[in-house]
């Protein structure tokens, strides 16, 4: 993992002191709420429906065991005993008091963490592949690039007040586990020349009320040109991005309306005017960072035989363990989607336990996924049984990774000030229903995501089956979309038809699955069946059969 | 601060307490309370005066984001008209967090 140098540490400590001063000035009236709001947002502090909310950055989804312990401690001491892991690999605390937040930030700084730029119209926490560094299909570890971006974008003076928020994702593997094409900029890291990486740059993706799939901006950009290129890309967006309408202010709208070729031309013209000298240290810095991510030696081990495992353990291994690049190890995904549970929530006790298990079985390291689960990246196969037993005790052994019941859901109207309907209760009911159905039907590969408003934090556009909660005449109504995907063949789901009451959703989902199971051809995925038969056929099955 | 006022409804004045973020209501005792049942019911012709109370309280750094929201009242309870406000006054509808935490659910 990356370890802060003295500059990094001084930076987060200074920022924490600065925010403490800002909070004191707010409480004593020296700052008005209008003056204070942009400051608190830049430090991840929202005012939600019932309370303040603190969003803590988990850079590129990587955590040490000690950092997880600190997150557990914060949940226990300053919140109501739990935290919520988000689709951007962050954690949110739903009940902190404003007067306690400076202390929380001090605690975070002790373990090289912060909440900087987890909100506001700036470059947000960079996300990455939760299997980085251990995946068998990886070309190159994306984390050094993600850390380089963190350093470049932290308090970047020119990009502190962009037209809207700006999200990066970085991956270095054949399989996209980052929803890369739904980001403002997505980087695919590939081997370049002279031991340096090169980049595919994708631009203009996003969800919200105008979902867009990112387009390829440029291929094979060498490391030495990456930061100046990104600087120019952000600068052109900063100049031309709309500020008159927040719903049209993202770079996806600029690329769509201004045109990719015009945007690319402006970027090249801007780049030609820049001095590259300030960026020259970036290559050396990349290699300094990369040293911290070099895998500590894992000795290849003989593969453990799973033939005699009890059924529950065998099923968990089959569903939740992915092949590791080192023989004899596995990448273990821990589901935060128990049957009937709240997607992404973990109690302080569970977080403490996860930290201990990471120390015992995975070199003290954990990851957070954009699907709101936790990963232990390097577990020896001989330890699977003991780990599974420990997870069962914590209620963390659900064997549904990659199943339909592995539902993404935003906090929705139970917490969020922007939400138009609740999403968590819908997820809870569906996960209960789907866990039963998964016993008889193969629903692996399908995804079901739920958002509580059109801002789409629950990624409903990007799911095989998406559910969007809306407010219709002060009553919750749920719209279903079909055919979305966040993988390398990313697609936006299409609206099936009129919305449903919450009580009608389980039946509607059952009818969709009945029709798919009854209609699919050999080896066909849900989205392939949906595209072959078309929306009208699914619509008839769902609405006419009701 | 005030949302669109409709003449046939009553209102309550609500905000979040500055230092804690707690949801609060302007009470019949002319102070902020976290108990909806104690909220002062405001008629259409009183809305301007109560909006000014909210603004003054914001200036005094007691609360954040004060606003009036329409409600219906019967013998049993005060119920906000808007879906968002109904959820806001009740709290989350789900059992969240550690089992040791006491939830006061009101779906």
Q: Do A415 and B92 touch (CB under 8 A)?
A: yes
Query: What is the structure's pLDDT at B102?
Result: 54
**A255-261: Cβ within 8 A, 24+ apart:** A255/A203, A255/A204, A255/A212, A255/A215, A256/A204, A256/A212, A260/A203, A260/A204, A260/A215, A260/A217
Q: Which of B84, B94, B97 sits opposite A81 (nearest CB)?
A: B97
CA distance A187 to A181: 9
What are the chain B neighbours of A336 within 8 Å (beta carbons)? Answer: none
Query: How crowded is residue A262: how many other Cβ atoms within 10 Å of its Cβ?
Result: 14
Q: Which of A19-23, A504-508, A519-523, B72-76 has the lowest mean pLDDT?
A: B72-76
Q: Do B19 and A471 touch (CB under 8 A)?
A: no
Q: Do B98 and A80 touch (CB under 8 A)?
A: yes
Q: CATH fold of A408-544, please?
A: Sulfite Reductase Hemoprotein; domain 1 (3.30.413)
Q: Do A51 and B22 touch (CB under 8 A)?
A: yes
What are the chain A neighbours of B93 within 8 Å (beta carbons)? Answer: 414, 422, 425
For an interface test with A, give the residue of B9, B94, B106 to mutate (most A CBs within 10 A): B94
Q: Which of A26, A97, A425 sits opposite B94 (nearest CB)?
A: A425
Measure in Å the smallest separation between the Cα of B47 and chain A Cα atoms: 22
Listed in sequence order, the residues at least 6 apart from A138 whose beta carbon sits closer than 8 Å to its beta carbon are: A129, A131, A132, A172, A173, A174, A325
Q: Which helix (H) or strand (E) holds A300?
A: none
Q: Which of B22, B61, B96 sits opposite A27 (nearest CB)?
A: B61
A353 touches chain B (CB under 8 A): no
What are the chain B neighbours of A99 within 8 Å (beta carbons)? Answer: 19-20
Query: What is the structure's pLDDT at B1?
Result: 53
Q: Which of A50, A80, A474 sits opposite B88 (nearest CB)?
A: A50
Q: Domain ranges in chain A? A: 6-63+70-110, 131-291, 311-393, 408-544
pLDDT at A226 over 50: yes
Instruction: Say yes or no: domain A6-63+70-110 is CATH 3.30.700.
Output: no
Mean of pLDDT values over B14-18:
98
pLDDT-derived band at B107 (thresholds 50, 70, 90) equals very low
Q: Which of A374, A458, A359 has the alpha carbon at shortest distance from A416?
A: A458
B101 touches chain A (CB under 8 A): yes
Mean of pLDDT values over A192-199:
94
Listed in sequence order, the residues at least 6 apart from A308 whose beta carbon sits closer than 8 Å to its beta carbon are: none
Q: Looking at the structure, give the CATH architecture of the domain made up of residues A131-291.
A: 2-Layer Sandwich (3.30)
Q: Do B93 and A422 touch (CB under 8 A)?
A: yes
CA distance B90 to B67: 17
Measure in Å the smallest separation between the Cα of B60 and chain A Cα atoms: 7
Taking the whole predicted model, whether its pTM rises above 0.90 is answered as: yes
Asked whether the beta carbons of B97 and A345 are under 8 A apart, the reply is: yes
Could you give the 3-state DSSP secondary structure of residue A381?
helix
Q: What are the structure tokens assigned to B44, written together?
A: 């259409």
CA distance A302 to A304: 6
What are the chain B neighbours of A82 within 8 Å (beta carbons)? Answer: 96-98, 101
Asked whether the beta carbons of A321 and A384 are under 8 A apart, the reply is: yes
Torsion angle of C-alpha atoms B75, B78, B80, B84, degrees rounded to 10? -120
- ipTM summary value: 0.91
Instruction: Say yes or no: domain A311-393 is CATH 2.40.50.100.
Output: no
A478-528 pLDDT, tens digit per residue, is 999 999 999 989 999 999 999 999 999 999 999 999 999 999 999 999 999
Task: Count interface pairs A-B at CB distance under 8 A.
Answer: 94
What are the chain A neighbours of B21 within 8 Å (beta carbons)? Answer: 47-48, 50-52, 96-98
Query: What is the structure's pLDDT at B7?
Result: 58
What are the chain A neighbours of B87 within 8 Å (beta carbons)? Answer: 49, 413-414, 422
B94 touches chain A (CB under 8 A): yes
A425 touches chain B (CB under 8 A): yes
Q: Domain ranges in chain B? A: 10-90
CA distance A357 to A361: 6
What are the chain B neighbours of A98 within 8 Å (beta carbons)? Answer: 18-21
Query: What is the structure's pLDDT at A254?
Result: 97
Q: Which helix (H) or strand (E) holds A382?
A: none
pLDDT-derived band at A380 (thresholds 50, 70, 90) equals very high
Average pLDDT over chain A, rounded to an integer: 96
B2-12 pLDDT, tens digit per residue, is 455 555 689 99
Could you give the 3-state DSSP secondary structure of residue A24?
helix
């Amino acid at each position: 993992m990356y370890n802060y140098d003295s500059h990094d540490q001084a930076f987060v400590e200074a920022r924490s002191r600065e925010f403490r001063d800002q909070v004191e000035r707010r409480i004593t009236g020296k700052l008005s709420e209008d003056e204070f709001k942009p400051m608190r947002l830049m430090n991840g502090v929202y005012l939600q429906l019932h309370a303040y909310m603190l969003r803590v950055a988990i850079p590129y989804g990587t955590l040490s065991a000690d950092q997880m312990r600190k997150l557990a401690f914060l949940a226990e001491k300053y919140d109501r005993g739990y935290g919520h892991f988000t689709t951007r690999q962050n954690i949110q605390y739903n009940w902190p008091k404003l007067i306690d937040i400076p202390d929380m930030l001090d605690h975070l700084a002790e373990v090289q963490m912060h909440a900087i730029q987890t909100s506001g119209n700036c470059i947000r926490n960079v996300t990455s592949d939760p299997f980085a560094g251990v995946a068998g299909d990886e070309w190159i570890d994306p984390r050094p690039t993600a850390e380089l971006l963190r350093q470049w974008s932290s308090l970047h003076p020119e990009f502190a007040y962009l037209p809207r928020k700006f999200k990066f994702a970085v991956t270095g593997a054949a399989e996209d586990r980052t929803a890369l094409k739904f980001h403002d900029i997505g980087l695919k890291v590939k081997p370049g020349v002279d031991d340096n990486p090169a980049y595919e740059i994708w631009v203009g993706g996003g969800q919200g009320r105008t979902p867009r799939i990112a387009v390829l901006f440029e291929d094979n950009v060498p490391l030495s040109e990456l930061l100046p290129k990104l600087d120019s890309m952000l600068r052109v967006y900063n100049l031309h991005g709309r500020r008159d309408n927040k719903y049209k202010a993202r770079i996806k709208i600029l690329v769509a309306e201004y045109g990719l070729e015009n945007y690319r031309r402006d970027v090249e013209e801007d780049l030609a005017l820049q001095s590259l000298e300030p960026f020259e240290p970036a290559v050396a810095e990349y290699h300094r960072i990369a040293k911290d991510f070099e895998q500590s030696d894992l000795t290849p081990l003989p593969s453990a035989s799973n033939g005699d495992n009890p059924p529950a353990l065998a099923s968990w291994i089959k569903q939740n363990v992915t092949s590791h690049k080192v023989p004899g190890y596995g990448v273990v995904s821990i589901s935060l989607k128990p049957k009937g549970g709240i997607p992404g929530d973990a109690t302080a006790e569970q977080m403490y336990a996860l930290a201990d298990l990471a120390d015992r079985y995975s070199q003290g390291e954990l990851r957070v996924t954009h699907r709101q689960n936790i990963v232990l990246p390097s577990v020896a196969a001989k330890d699977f049984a003991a780990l599974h037993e420990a997870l069962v005790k914590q209620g963390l052994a659900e064997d549904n990774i990659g199943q339909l019941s592995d539902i993404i859901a935003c906090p929705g109207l139970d917490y969020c000030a922007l939400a138009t309907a609740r999403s968590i209760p819908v997820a809870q009911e569906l996960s209960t229903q789907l866990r039963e159905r998964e016993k008889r039907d193969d629903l692996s590969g399908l995804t079901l995501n739920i958002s509580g408003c059109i801002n789409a934090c629950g990624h409903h556009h990007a799911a095989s089956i998406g559910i969007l909660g809306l407010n219709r005449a002060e009553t919750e109504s749920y719209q279903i979309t079909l055919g979305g995907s966040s993988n390398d063949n990313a697609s936006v789901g299409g609206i099936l038809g009129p919305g449903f009451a919450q009580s009608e959703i389980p039946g509607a989902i059952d009818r969709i699955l009945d029709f798919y199971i009854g209609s699919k051809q050999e080896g066909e995925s849900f989205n392939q069946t949906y595209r072959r038969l078309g929306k009208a056929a699914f619509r008839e099955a769902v609405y006419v059969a009701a | 601060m005030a949302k669109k006022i409709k003449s046939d409804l009553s209102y309550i004045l609500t905000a979040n307490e500055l230092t804690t973020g707690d949801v609060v209501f302007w009470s019949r005792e002319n102070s902020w309370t976290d108990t909806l049942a104690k909220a002062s019911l405001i008629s259409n012709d009183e809305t301007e005066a109560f909006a000014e109370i909210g603004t003054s309280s914001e200036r005094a750094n007691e609360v954040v984001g004060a606003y009036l929201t329409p409600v219906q009242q019967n013998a049993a309870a005060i119920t906000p008209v808007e879906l968002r406000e109904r959820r806001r006054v009740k709290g989350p509808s789900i059992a969240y967090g550690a089992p040791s935490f006491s939830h006061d659910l009101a779906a």
